[in-house]
Every structure is written in structure tokens, then in C-alpha cells.
Amino acid sequence: MTRVTDAEKDTSADNVDNVGGRTIPPRPYVLGDIPGPLDRAELTSMDAWWRAANYLAVGQIYLMRNPLLREPLRPEHIKPRLLGHFGTVPGLNLVWVHANRVIRQRGLNAVFVAGPGHGGPGPNACAWLEGTYSELYGHISRDAVGMGALFAQFSFPGGVPSHCAPETPGSFHEGGELGYSLLHAFGAALDNPDLTVFCVIGDGEAETGPLAGSWHAAKFISPGRDGAVVPILALNQYKIANPTLLARIPESELLTLMRGYGYDPIIVAGDDPARVHQDMASAMDSCLDQIERIKAAARANPDERAYWPMIVLRTPKGWTCPPVVDGERVEGTFRAHQVPLPAARTDDAHRVVLEEWLRSYRPEELFDENGRPVGELLDLVPVGARRMSANPVANGGTLVRDLRLPDWRDYGVEIDAPGAADHEATRVLGSWLRDVTRDNPDNFLTFAPDELASNRLQDILEVTGRDWQAEIDPNDVKLDRRGRVIEVLSEHMCQGLLEGYLLTGRHGVFTCYEAFIHIVDAMFNQHAKWLDASAAVPWRRPVPSLNYLLSSHVWRQDHNGFTHQDPGFLDVVLNKKPEIVRVYLPPDANTLLSTYDHCLRSRHYVNVVVAGKQPQPDWLGVQDAAAHCARGVGIWEWAGNNDDLGASPDVVLACAGDVPTLETLAAAAILRDRLPDLRVRVVNVVDLMRLLPADEHPHGLPDSEFDTLFTTNRPVIFAFHGYPWLIHRLTYRRTNHSEMHVRGYKEKGTTTTPFDMVMLNDLDRYHLVMDVVDRVPGLREKAAGLRQEMVDARWKARAWTREHGADIPVVSQWRWPDPAL
């Protein structure tokens, strides 16, 4: 039975004019006898759940008192500021109750991802109906008192946000910035063979680039190894103020698009609840049958690609809300996107209609005299952890298994003397990650945007292949139906899949070119905020850290151009809560190993590790690397000539990053050779957070220790991997800040060689020596000759480069002088 008359549904402008300035409440509906898989009792009770969840959603948006309408609705019952988006809620609640049906019938292990923005009232309502809300938040009991608290806290100061968030039971997906719901769903499904993820995607969200690309993520789902995702495209046709693209193409074109993405779509459409319930039940049965067939087929023939089912759910925006408000069509239009009756507190007519709207759900049939859901509703709730609101998969920290990590020391490189040999640091790390991959065959994955081998982690491919479910050509190499490396040329997909994998309690690494990690700045922000907020939710458990390995970094862009130079992700990261973020700049292979071992053991952080893939000198042996990384910052006595810590040096050469460390040591060697009386101290920083004050970051050095390392008044020439001001930002509260002279990357756009690159940025050894001469009091006069030599050496190096297209051999073949010399 349709709920509005045909005349009302014919919403031409004329027709809206005809209703004048009226505000029309929704009419209660009677469920018609529509044939389908649901018998009358099931249909009735599922519809009752849907009505209950919709009632509870409207209550959250509007009411701060009088939750069960036991008294007539008065202005003071209504919140002063009305927030939350109703438009998407009925669709979310519909999917939830239908998911519960198949969970119960088939014993599914399932979780729910709510993609549409600000749809929080829906999952909140369902979690409360399932009892989970009350189990996790004692004061929000499953009765009238708790219902009042549920309503009052929603989008209210000190309460919960309007979208799904860490506070939402059963959610592992933040409903803030849009675009990542499918990626989180697929990430959760990886290595979870018995899991089903019901993922609702808003048709607004579907316009975003990341979502448009992520439909292809199904091509990385191995039916034998992974769970299944049921994408449900919620085609309610409108965004805030516009129709959606996918709702304004012919249905046949939409189906073609979904088939082109590799899915087998089913459409459920309508505005008659009985019809939609029957069709949705039928669609859900079809999807799960098809998934079972896919799984069975994969057992028989792992090479046959799966065409996964998905549902297009075309129902009215704000379904069941007032059809007309102030003479304008609302239900089924963009005006239902947010709050359909915006003046409910101040406008009597709106308030009256709000009450009729709430009563149209017939709450008296849904909640008993104590406000508890009636038995008919409780019968629909799956048992215990089968409730989507209580599934531990969505609180992944509870499921984490520690990684089995081989001793990184066994993979370290041997050091005869500092700088005597070169290694590709990431290649060395790759040998360890290979065995991490081997030893953790079901809870560790590596993600890369076609850059695994480019970033020199190809040793991992000795024990596994790249995950690939599409066709395989004889010329392809290292593709594997169960590969444990996921490579796709989309940083968004790498990040989103890894987030979904981590949030459901597994471990992973994302390796990326440094410059292009900015592509996921916004995703990083949202994930860091999730970690931050979830740490304050008592029932959430820490999840494994999000580990970045950024290579092909700013200093080695000889292969590429200006667009590949950007070390600014560090600045983005450091804007987030200090408790959550860590940045490491290991200077060589062994320190990279030690750092990464630490990262893979950590929880609930974002670890950013920047390391080069080109051959660079090894400075520290395994034991020294372990000790240095444990401290995070330290004096390299062997590199300076100021062995007595008690004696203040004349100058501190500080460095953070592999290339800056190399240049600093080369500068130190020149200074030791040419100015042997100058007391030089070399300080290397691995853990950038050590520079922050102790009260700003858990890793921050106390001022006394900082002053001991960096002195209180001697010039510090700081060679830094990133934009120079980051060091100032980290150290501006330190005693010696006015003597911090930082050399780092500044935007210069030209094609060049490695050494020319550092010369362009005044980060080269010669310029660092010039800096020392300029900054150490009295030295400019004493060392004028050396300074001029440095100027000349730079010009000579530059000229060589321009002629030969390579670095001058005195630089490219330079080695740290044997300590015996």
C-alpha cells in the first residue's frame, strides 16, 4: 500500500503549489499482502523493527525529553539545534533488519558498514534495539530512561556525533568524510573467510573518486581466503541540495555500470513498505545464495573469477517523513536530506506534525510500558556476538594476535667500519618483511600502488605473490590467487583496504612514494582522528598501528621531476594528536630494520617511516642501531671530535634522514680534516618526536636532555629531510632554538642528479661546512680559505653535473674516512 496518494506523489511545481503552505504529516500505513519470501508474521515483525528503528532515529534528531510521547510534545522537549541527517536513515534501518534476518537464518558472522554521511541515528537505534548500546553504556538502558538518554546525547554537547563514529557499537567506519565505505568493507573481508560485510554506499558517496575506484576492490577478494562484501547502493536520489548522478541515468545504464565493475546487481525499488520488504528479503537471499555458490565454485576451481552480487536499493529519501513541509515536497526530495522539520521547536505547526510523524510509527505497539522493545522485536535480534552491533570484528582490538616477528638482527648488515659499505635500506628491510609475511600467513598484508619492487621490497615475492583474481597472462609474473601483497595503482585503495584490515584487528604495511602519500592526507586525518577518539571509548581495544614506509623520497628524484618532490606529509601528520603519531627517519639499513620491528609491535599509532631505496652507506652495526633507535636521538661520537660530553662543542651538526645524514658526515669529515681544533658534535635523530617537549609528546626529550645534546648556546646546523620549518616548529620552545639553523627541502623545480639536488637546497656537505664557518663565532675570519674552497667545490660539482649528467666522482665515490687515517 502506498503511503501518499498519487496526487501528492505527482510533485510537479503546480502540484506543490496546490498544497499551499501546508505541512502534511505522514500517514500510518497498513502492510499489504505482497507475495514473497516473508510470511505474514515475519513481514509484520520486520516492519515493526523498521518502524521502531525509524522512531528511535527521529527521536534522536529531535527530542531531549519525553522520548515515548507519554505527554503531548512541547517546545522544551525539542532540542534547540536539530542535527543529524534523516534522509538516509530509513534505508540504513531497512538493510539492518534484513541483514538480521539472514544472519539468524544462516548463522552468518556479519558486520555492517554505514557509508552515508550523518546517518548515525540509524545504527545507534539498531544497536539500542539489540541491547548492545545498553551493555556498553550502562546509563543508556534498554527502557524508557535509556531511550531518553539515547535521544538526549545525540549531536548534543558532550554526546555522540551525528555520523557513525568510534562511539557507535558495531561500527568500524567513520561516517565523516565520504568515499571509503567499500574499501573498509573489503579490507575487513580480507583474511576473514567466514565474514559477511553488509556495506551501504550512499549515492552521494558514490560520486567520489575513491568510491568510484573502489568497486574494483572485489577483484582482490579471493573467495577461498576472504569473506564476502554485499555492497548495497542506497539510491535515494539526493545529496544535500542536488540529485545524484547515478539516480539520473537510466536504470539500464546503472546496471551496465555495475556489471562493468564486475558485479551481478539486483534492484530493489519502491516506496511501499510491504513490497520493498519482500523484494529486499528476496534480494538478500539471492545474494547470500550466490556467495555460497561462489565459495563452492572457488573450492572446485580457484581460477574462476567471481562475479559478486550487489543490491541497488532505490527508495525515497527520508522515506516515512512528512511528505510536504510548508508547502514544499520533502519526502523523496533533497529537502529530506537533513532535518525535515527544521522549526519544530519554534513553529507550532511543525511541532504538531513532528508529533504526528513520531506517532505514525505507532510506538505504543513497539515499546512496552517501561519503554522496552516488545518481544516481537527482541525475537529478531541475533544471539550475542552475532549481533552486528556486538560483533568483535568491529572492535578489532579484541581480536588482535601479535605478529610472529623473526629477530631483525638476523637480517642486519655487517658493519666493518661506519660508511664502509652501501646497502639499499628498503631492500634489506624487504628480506625481513619476506619472513614476516611467511610467518604470519593470515594476518599480515603489504599494500603498494604498483611500487613494491620499485621501493625494493620485492624479496617479499619470494614467499608469496601479488593478490590477483582477474585474468592472468603468460607474461605476468608473481600473481597469485592468494597473494599477500596487494598492488593497485590507487593510493586511496591501498590506504582504505589497509584501514579496514587494521580496524578489524590485523597488521599491515603501506609502502608508497613519499610525494604521492599526500593523495591520502585526508584519509590519514580521518584514521588518526578515529584512533584518537576510539582511545577514549572504554570498550574499544587498541588496534595495530598504521605503518607507512615512504621511499623514493624527495632527495632521490633524479628519476623523476619536480612533482615527485614533497616531504610535506610529515607536516600533515604532526598536526594530529601527539599520542597517535610517530615519525621515524632511520639513516641506514640496520636502523630501518630496528625501527620497523618497533612499528610492527606497536598498537594504535600511525607510524611514518621514511627511508631511501638507493644504495647508501651503512653507519651503524646491529647492536649500535638497536641502541640508537631505542634512544631515538643520540650523539655519534665516532663522527665528531668532541668525545668528552662534558666539554661543550663549538658546533653541533644535527641530522635526520638518510641523505641529510650522509651530507652531515661528509661535512664532519671535512671539518675534522681541515679544522682539527674545532670541536664538532654530530647528533643523529631517528625519532623526530624526540625533538618535541616532553609535555607535548610521550617521546619528547626533557629540556635537560635536549640541552645536553644540542647545548644551550652553540650553533646547531641541522640537516633535515623535510621542509626546514618543521624542525623550528618542533624545537621553538627549546633553550637553544635561536641557534638552530636548519637546512631542508625548499621548492626548487628542476631536473637534476642526487648531489645537485642537495646543492640546490644548500643541504650539501660543502654548504654545511660553509654554514659552520659562518655560524661559529670567529671562524669566518680564521677559515676564510676553507670557506672559499667550499664555494669553489660547489661550482665545480655543479659544472661537472651539467656536463656529464652525473655526480662528480669526488662526491659519488666519497667514503667516510677510515678512523685510522
The interface with its own copies within residues 241-260 (CB under 8 A) comprises 241-245, 248-250, 253-260
Q: Could you say whether residue 743 binds its own copies (CB under 8 A)?
A: no
User: In whole angstroms, what is the distance from residue 348 CA to residue 31 CA?
Assistant: 31
Q: Indicate the pairing of strand 263-269 with strand 228-234.
A: unpaired
Give me the sheet containing 606-610, strands edge to edge. Answer: 479-480, 466-467, 485-487, 444-448, 507-513, 546-551, 606-610, 581-584
In the beta sheet, which residues pair with residue 513? 551
User: In whole angstroms, what is the distance from residue 69 CA to residue 352 CA?
Assistant: 12
* 270 phi, psi to nearest 5 deg: 145, 175
Closer to its own copies by Cβ: residue 220 or 411: 220
Q: Could you say whether residue 29 binds its own copies (CB under 8 A)?
A: no
Query: In this chain, which stretch among 46-54, 239-247, 289-297, 632-640 interacts with its own copies, using CB under 8 A?
Result: 239-247
- Contact criterion met (CB below 8 Å) for 486 and 497: yes
User: Smallest gap, in angstroms, from Cβ of residue 472 to its own copies?
Assistant: 7
Q: Could you say whether residue 173 binds its own copies (CB under 8 A)?
A: no
The dihedral through the CA atoms of 569, 575, 576, 581 has a sign that is positive
Total chain residues near its own copies (CB under 8 A): 130
Closer to its own copies by Cβ: residue 297 or 405: 297
Q: Which amino acid is at 338?
A: Q
- Judging by beta carbons within 10 Å of its beta carbon (0-12, 13-18, 19+), is residue 512 exposed, middle or buried? buried
What would the x/- binding string for its own copies be over residues 258 to 277, using CB under 8 A?
xxxxx---------------
Closer to its own copies by Cβ: residue 4 or 452: 452
Distance between alpha carbon 99 and the CA centroid of its chain, in Å?
A: 26
Q: Return the residues of window 427-486 that contact its own copies according to CB under 8 A.
A: 450-454, 466, 468, 470-477, 479
Closer to its own copies by Cβ: residue 14 or 71: 14
The three grid cell numbers given for residue 311, joined into one nine-digit string: 543490491
- Contact criterion met (CB below 8 Å) for 137 and 148: no
Query: In this chain, which stretch among 101-109, 150-158, 371-379, 638-646 interacts with its own copies, using CB under 8 A?
Result: 150-158
Q: Return the residues of window 398-427 that contact its own copies according to CB under 8 A.
A: none
Closer to its own copies by Cβ: residue 262 or 441: 262
User: Smallest gap, in angstroms, from Cβ of residue 473 to its own copies?
Assistant: 6
Q: Binder to its own copies among 42, 143, 177, 707 (CB under 8 A)?
A: 177
User: In whole angstroms, what is the distance from residue 320 CA to residue 246 CA?
Assistant: 23
Q: How far is it between the farthest Cα atoms of the chain?
A: 100
User: Smallest gap, in angstroms, from Cβ of residue 474 to its own copies?
Assistant: 5
Q: Return the residues of window 59-88 that contact its own copies according to CB under 8 A.
A: 64, 79-81, 83
Q: How many residues does the chain have?
A: 821
Q: Indicate the pairing of strand 651-656 with strand 716-720.
A: parallel
Q: Could you say whether residue 13 binds its own copies (CB under 8 A)?
A: yes
Q: Binder to its own copies among 213, 309, 340, 612 (CB under 8 A)?
A: 213
Query: In this chain, which stretch among 206-214, 349-357, 633-641, 664-672 interacts with its own copies, using CB under 8 A?
Result: 206-214
Q: Could you say whether residue 562 binds its own copies (CB under 8 A)?
A: yes
User: Smallest gap, in angstroms, from Cβ of residue 89 to its own copies?
Assistant: 16
Instruction: Encode burial over 738-774: b for 16+ CB neighbours within 10 A, e otherwise.
Output: ebbbbbbbeeeeeebbbbbbbbbbbbbbbbbbbbbbe
Compute CA distances 676 → 131, 673, 739, 819, whole Å.
Answer: 75, 6, 23, 14
Q: Indicate the pairing of strand 615-617 with strand 606-610.
A: unpaired
What would the x/- binding string for its own copies be over residues 106 to 135, using CB under 8 A?
------------x-----------------
Query: In this chain, which stretch among 422-430, 500-508, 546-554, 558-566 interacts with its own copies, using CB under 8 A?
Result: 558-566
Q: Could you say whether residue 208 binds its own copies (CB under 8 A)?
A: yes
Distance between alpha carbon 568 and the CA centroid of its chain, in Å?
A: 18
Triad 310, 312, 316: Cα angle to 5°: 155
Q: Return the residues of window 572-611 that contact its own copies according to CB under 8 A.
A: 572, 575-577
Closer to its own copies by Cβ: residue 198 or 261: 261
Q: Binder to its own copies among 39, 303, 644, 747 (CB under 8 A)?
A: 747
Query: In this chain, which stretch among 135-143, 149-157, 432-440, 592-600 interacts with its own copies, using CB under 8 A?
Result: 149-157
Total Cβ atoms within 10 A of residue 643: 11
Closer to its own copies by Cβ: residue 607 or 752: 752
DSSP string, 498-539: HHHHHHTT-EEEEEEETGGGGGGHHHHHHHHHHHHHHHTSTT
320: left (phi over 0), alpha (psi -120 to 50) or beta: left
Q: Binder to its own copies among 559, 601, 603, 796 (CB under 8 A)?
A: 559
Closer to its own copies by Cβ: residue 243 or 817: 243
Q: Binder to its own copies among 29, 156, 539, 638 (CB under 8 A)?
A: 156
Q: Binder to its own copies among 109, 237, 391, 464 (CB under 8 A)?
A: 237
User: In whole angstroms, what is the distance from residue 287 CA to residue 267 CA?
Assistant: 12
User: Smallest gap, in angstroms, from Cβ of residue 782 to its own copies?
Assistant: 27
The dihedral through the CA atoms of 196, 202, 208, 212 has a sign that is positive
User: Smallest gap, in angstroms, from Cβ of residue 742 to its own copies?
Assistant: 10
Q: What is the CA radius of gyration of the chain?
A: 31
User: Smallest gap, in angstroms, from Cβ of residue 380 to its own copies?
Assistant: 30
User: In whole angstroms, what is the distance from residue 19 CA to residue 219 CA?
Assistant: 50
Q: Return the residues of window 353-382 that contact its own copies according to CB under 8 A.
A: none
Q: Binder to its own copies among 161, 170, 397, 508 (CB under 8 A)?
A: 161
User: Smallest gap, in angstroms, from Cβ of residue 302 to its own copies?
Assistant: 16
In the beta sheet, which residues pair with residue 547? 509, 607
Q: Binder to its own copies among 281, 415, 493, 683 (CB under 8 A)?
A: 493
What would the x/- binding string for its own copies be over residues 707 to 726, using CB under 8 A?
----------------x-x-
Q: Indicate the pairing of strand 422-424 with strand 615-617.
A: antiparallel
Triad 93, 100, 319: Cα angle to 5°: 20
Closer to its own copies by Cβ: residue 189 or 675: 189
User: Smallest gap, in angstroms, from Cβ of residue 804 to its own copies?
Assistant: 7
Query: In this chain, which stretch among 25-33, 292-300, 562-570, 629-637 interacts with its own copies, using CB under 8 A?
Result: 562-570
Triad 8, 10, 16: Cα angle to 5°: 65
Q: Could you say whether residue 138 binds its own copies (CB under 8 A)?
A: no
Q: Could you say whether residue 349 binds its own copies (CB under 8 A)?
A: no
Beta strands in 308-397 (DSSP E): 308-314, 324-325, 328-329
Query: In this chain, which stretch among 139-147, 358-366, 553-561, 672-680 interacts with its own copies, using CB under 8 A?
Result: 553-561
- Residue 129's closest CA among 291, 321, 365, 366? 366
User: Smallest gap, in angstroms, from Cβ of residue 50 to its own copies?
Assistant: 24
Question: What secondary structure, in 3-state letters, does 443-459 show?
Answer: CEEEEECCCCCCCCCHH
* 791 phi, psi to nearest 5 deg: -60, -45
Closer to its own copies by Cβ: residue 510 or 619: 510
Q: Could you say whether residue 209 binds its own copies (CB under 8 A)?
A: yes
Compute CA distances 791 → 244, 248, 778, 796, whole Å.
Answer: 62, 66, 19, 9
Q: Could you say whether residue 749 binds its own copies (CB under 8 A)?
A: yes
User: Smallest gap, in angstroms, from Cβ of residue 706 to its own copies?
Assistant: 17
Closer to its own copies by Cβ: residue 98 or 456: 456
- Contact criterion met (CB below 8 Å) for 656 and 627: no
Q: Binder to its own copies among 536, 704, 781, 821 (CB under 8 A)?
A: 536
